Structure 1
Amino acid sequence: MSLLLAAIAADAVAGGAVLTWPGAPPCNTTLHACIAAAVAGDTVEIATDGPIDETIEIFGKSLTLRAAEGFEPVFEPTNGTDAIEAFGADAQVTILIDGLTVRGGTIGAYQAGTGAFDIAIRGNRIESTGLDANRSAIYLRTFGASPTGPVQFEVTDNDIALGFLSGDDICAIALDDLPGPSSGSIARNRVRDGGEMSTYPAMRIHNATGTLALDVVANAITASGYNGGIELVQDDVAGSVATRILNNLVVGGSDVMGPQPGAVSLRATAGGVLALVANNTLAHNDTGFIAKASPGATLEGALANNIVAFNAIRGIVIDSGIAAAFDNAHNLAWSNAGDAFEPGPGTLASDPLFVGAGDYHLRPATPARDTGDDQYVPEDIEQDLDGSARIIGPAVDIGAFERPDSLFADGFEAP
């Protein structure tokens, strides 16, 4: 959580009122009425498991909406799929949505004003066997404000399990064109299950005219049927993106349709992208990693310390037009149907030796152990996908998981 979000959350608990629903007036009727009666800085705790058949809007005021201790609230709206929506305004607004379950619906946030909008969506569970087409389980986007105020966001620790029909435009997490300056993280989310076929990837980040700083860290995408895993598109000359995509696991992505699906896909049609893609495991997809830029756009950065293996159509694709500005080093590329890049220093062509049966941890004899390059590990990223230390031993391991060193009783290292 950002320092600002943490401060507001602390104020809501220490200074603002804590309202419990269902409870005493004004929280003795609907949850909607309870939220409407809350004032800025209040916390609304839900003290029922539900199911709750309401659609909720939090419009233009700072509020925490969370599960009360000992409860696991479940929203099952029958009137529409937008279960919980949060809106920014012309004044500063901070909203936290924490620890809720939504079945057959979505959680969304809109920047609807010129004021700063801080939004945290964390620790929630979204499950559905058939969202409407062109829906995202969790989404952030603009809502017609001009000019648009800055957005600071955190989408963290959510569990998303969707079942979609063939051809639906469905994704798990979407960030769509925030015109104002925006920054935040999509971290530690789990995307699983999936459906027959979606034309959207599991995570879709689309930027046009805004300035976006984004971390995509320690997410596990193991769902089938999505049109790729993590997709980032920059498509307006006025916009730019700086992103770090680190310690993610992406498996099961399909190449459903163009222009360039992949477990991690970077595309700049206009404007500029600066990206560090490091210590990810991209395996058993149709395409592993792909990066391209249109004439006049820029795509710079590095692909380093990644395992890209067992991908059915393409492994690593780095467009020749950006190769000089996009480093690749210390990646392990193995048993992909095809690669299109010039291997950089430290590239390995060896079986990564996954544990197997859907377990992408590394066996003791893995060639990925201690063969990464520490310069591509940011100082503030101290943990791997499991939450273990990111660097154990003389150098970082390649891939999303660090292999723990172990010692025999005589003090010698285990193989």
Structure 2
Amino acid sequence: MKNILILIMTVISLPAAAFSFWPGGAAPCNTTLQACIDGSPVGEYIEIRTNSTINENIFANKAVSLVAANGYKPKFSVGNNVQVYANGAYTVRVKGLTLLGGSMQVVGAGAPHSIYVTHNDVTHTNANVASIRVYNTSYDDIHFDVSYNRVHTNFLNSPSDEFGAISVYKTIGNGTATGRVYGNTVTAVGIESRGIMLNERVGGGIDMNVIGNEIYGATQGGVYVLSEHNNSDIHAKIGSNAFYRHDDFYFPSGVHLEALDGDIEAEIVNNSMIESRYGVDIIEVPGAMVDAYVYNNLVAYGITGFYFPAAATVTHDYNLVYDVTSNTGYTPGPNALSINPQIVGLQNARLRPGSPAIDSAQSIALLALGGSPFIDADGGIRMKKKGSGAAQLDIGAYESGDVFYTHVNKGTGSYISTLDHPDLNGDSGADEIHITSNWSHNGAVGPYNNDNEGIYYTGGKWRVFNEGLVDIEPNAAFNVAKFAAVSNTFEHEVTAAGNNYTNINKSGLDGQSQRILQVTQHWTGTYNDHPPGVWYGFGKWNISNLDLVNIPNGANYNVYFQEPSKSAWEHVASAANIVSNRTTLDNPIINGVPCAQVHVTQSVSQGVYNAHPVGVYYSGGYWRVYNQDLAAMPVDAAFHVVVSPEQVAACSDLIFKDGFD
């Protein structure tokens, strides 16, 4: 059975298109990258295996994918751009590239297909065009996914055209550009700067979800939606985005809707606009139409909160507007608030404990975002339980409620260590607690904990223990998380012995192969001294003993799951990121942050069973996952990783960085 599963999962993990790599590949990929592209067939998946700076200006006049190989960070030198003209029914990916001073453009043409522009880092100065520009020049529908990019654009004061740092638009009056702009970090500088722009200038449709982005600057609009043609039809779902000032001058404008002709329909839900020139600004000229649904937004410390012209159709309530100079066309709804939101800071709009915005949003308003991920600006789940009541929704871009801390063992001579935290104590039914061994807490070194850890509850407190009854060394540290999204946490008990894996049956997981999971052994009477991992097959998620020993009846697990986000992802070990018994994580949220609290669960997505206890540690600017018994880390070992940007900001002492108190 194991070999069958490995074969299935390995086949699933391979790119569907033809595959080649550069540099060092077979001809035509044995000279320049441009020659590799020119000589490759349409639909080729080109993996870039270098950390060196590439001094080439790339133009692909065909549908090819350009993807940084796992463990590599290819960089393009200043003045060089990457352009792909994706013509035909091929999936195209541009992923993991760094542009030190240039722009990225991917064009969808021909038959319906999908384009993914993800995990890129683009810096663009004196910009006259978008840093990342995707557009549809097809009569058919093109799906765009622009996610997890980091973009810094310094615009010219008088650009020749209207673009955002990230721009999505159409050039043909038929077909629809669909998809999402998700989990990006965008800085747009200049008096004409825009953050994320949706522009319909020739007719046809744009239907995009703009979710979970953090935008700095963008004085003309953090999310700028522009309709310019009488046959234009734009539908924008704009949720859980945070808008901030850049430096001392470039104050943001949150959401700007401008209908010069045609129609704009927008759902603007659960965003935070801090120090904005406008929170939401609507322009509708005669003959055009704007229909906006504005709920659960937090607008504070700005100039104009809401600008709603009389001609526009605006439905609104449950917004918190505080300390703005004026509003136009806005009369607070019956559930609106106008009191101090008690945010952490002007560059950190997360809510302090006791904030009136906590649990004060209308939960059903999230449904207006349709199929968008219900993910906040940190990449965590919306709607969390903050006490003994039901899970509810906060106003603004960030959801409060999760607990992250590090427990350090102070005892000796025992395989048990008692957790002591007010949010855990007395909560015997908590299925949302998870642990990960941390070898480098607060810069300390070690000790190892070479055993399979679990947790259990007794006497009013939770405890960490070693399933193999091995003593936990003094100063051994464990990252502890209590995830408050109770709809996504549960206990799973094995009720039928005889297999080394157990099927999970759970709505929200079944049929969802891309979910990110955390699994912690939760002792309720049955020991299972084996390393656990997860895998997906035949429509179900499963938990396995990675050493393939049968799981005993009564073994019990805490399980957490969520959609992938910028703070929840799968890491795969490769020859380029492995040293000895460890593999290096690379995520800008935690890079350079030794106080980050990283949580990992092993995955068998690539067909590799890493049958060893694991932990995390920090060194040289990066976090790493390591085998506790010092066994070599195998290529294609995989890990589901979850971190908290809120915890990272707090431990990095960013709370009063802007002088806000």
Shorter-normalised TM range = 0.7 to 0.9
CA apart distance, 1:292: 2.9
Matched, 1:233 2:226: yes
Number of the residue aligned with 2:504? none
Matched, 1:104 2:101: yes
RMSD: 2.6
| Structure 2, unaligned runs of 5 or more | 1-10, 404-422, 429-661
> What residue identity is the alignment partner of 1:331?
N
CA apart distance, 1:50: 2.2
Q: Deviations over 1:227-252 (max 9, x none)?
A: 23111011211110111000000112
Number of the residue aligned with 1:296? 287
**Distance in 2 between the 1:225 and 1:275 partners?**
19
Q: Secondary structure at the match of 2:35?
A: helix
Q: Deviations over 1:135-175 (max 9, x none)?
A: 11001235xx6x63322111110001234454456631112
**Distance in 2 between the 1:68 and 1:314 partners?**
46
Matched, 1:404 2:401: yes
**Structure 2 counterpart of 1:187, from 174, 182, 191:** 182
CA apart distance, 1:225: 5.9
> What residue identity is the alignment partner of 1:93?
Y
Number of the residue aligned with 2:593? none
Matched, 1:219 2:213: yes
Number of the residue aligned with 1:86? 84
CA apart distance, 1:344: 1.7
**Distance in 2 between the 1:335 and 1:32 partners?**
54
**Distance in 2 between the 1:250 and 1:242 partners?**
21
Query: Quick one: structure 1 residues 25 and 281, their matched pair in 2 at CA, closer, same or farther if it must change by over 3 Å?
Result: same
CA contact (8 A) 1:118 1:152 kept: yes
Number of the residue aligned with 1:3? none
**Distance in 2 between the 1:226 and 1:117 partners?**
34
**Structure 1 counterpart of 2:304, from 295, 301, 314:** 314
Q: Deviations over 1:180-230 (max 9, x none)?
A: 3210111110013x44x24131222111302111100000002x3642311
Number of the residue aligned with 1:281? 272
**Distance in 2 between the 1:266 and 1:288 partners?**
11
**Distance in 2 between the 1:59 and 1:67 partners?**
20
Q: Deviations over 1:70-125 (max 9, x none)?
A: 211001154xx5x1111133x323210000100110000224x4422421110000
Number of the residue aligned with 1:74? 75
**Distance in 1 between the 2:334 and 2:366 partners?**
16
> What residue identity is the alignment partner of 1:290?
D
Once the two structures are superposed, the pairs formed by residues 235-250 of structure 1 within 5 Å of their partners are 235-250=228-243
**Structure 1 counterpart of 2:92, from 91, 95, 99:** 95
Number of the residue aligned with 1:200? 193
CA contact (8 A) 1:22 1:46 kept: no
**Distance in 2 between the 1:228 and 1:68 partners?**
35
Number of the residue aligned with 1:5? none
Q: Secondary structure at the match of 1:24?
A: coil
**Distance in 2 between the 1:108 and 1:100 partners?**
13
**Distance in 2 between the 1:55 and 1:187 partners?**
27
Number of the residue aligned with 2:41? 39
CA apart distance, 1:39: 2.0
**Structure 2 counterpart of 1:57, from 56, 59, 63:** 59
Number of the residue aligned with 2:338? 349
Q: Secondary structure at the match of 2:37?
A: helix
**Structure 2 counterpart of 1:360, from 346, 349, 355:** 349
Q: Secondary structure at the match of 1:160?
A: strand
**Distance in 2 between the 1:253 and 1:206 partners?**
24
Number of the residue aligned with 1:121? 117
**Distance in 1 between the 2:244 and 2:170 partners?**
26
> What residue identity is the alignment partner of 2:310?
S
CA contact (8 A) 2:274 2:346 kept: no
Query: Quick one: structure 1 residues 140 and 350, their matched pair in 2 at CA, closer, same or farther if it must change by over 3 Å?
Result: same
Matched, 1:390 2:385: no
Number of the residue aligned with 1:4? none
Number of the residue aligned with 2:165? 172
Query: Quick one: structure 1 residues 10 and 37, their matched pair in 2 at CA, closer, same or farther if it must change by over 3 Å?
Result: farther
Query: Quick one: structure 1 residues 16 and 24, their matched pair in 2 at CA, closer, same or farther if it must change by over 3 Å?
Result: closer
CA apart distance, 1:342: 1.7
Q: Secondary structure at the match of 1:33?
A: helix
CA contact (8 A) 2:219 2:253 kept: no
Number of the residue aligned with 1:6? none
Q: Secondary structure at the match of 1:152?
A: strand
| Structure 1, unaligned runs of 5 or more | 1-8
> What residue identity is the alignment partner of 1:189?
N
Q: Secondary structure at the match of 1:236?
A: coil
> What residue identity is the alignment partner of 1:87?
Y
Aligned identity (percent) is: 25
Q: Secondary structure at the match of 1:364?
A: coil
**Distance in 2 between the 1:347 and 1:264 partners?**
19
> What residue identity is the alignment partner of 1:335?
D
CA contact (8 A) 1:12 1:42 kept: no
Query: Quick one: structure 1 residues 352 and 189, their matched pair in 2 at CA, closer, same or farther if it must change by over 3 Å?
Result: same
Higher Cα radius of gyration: 2
CA contact (8 A) 1:101 1:126 kept: yes
CA contact (8 A) 2:275 2:346 kept: no
CA contact (8 A) 1:250 1:283 kept: yes
**Distance in 2 between the 1:60 and 1:11 partners?**
24
> What residue identity is the alignment partner of 1:397?
D
CA apart distance, 1:66: 0.9
Q: Secondary structure at the match of 1:162?
A: strand
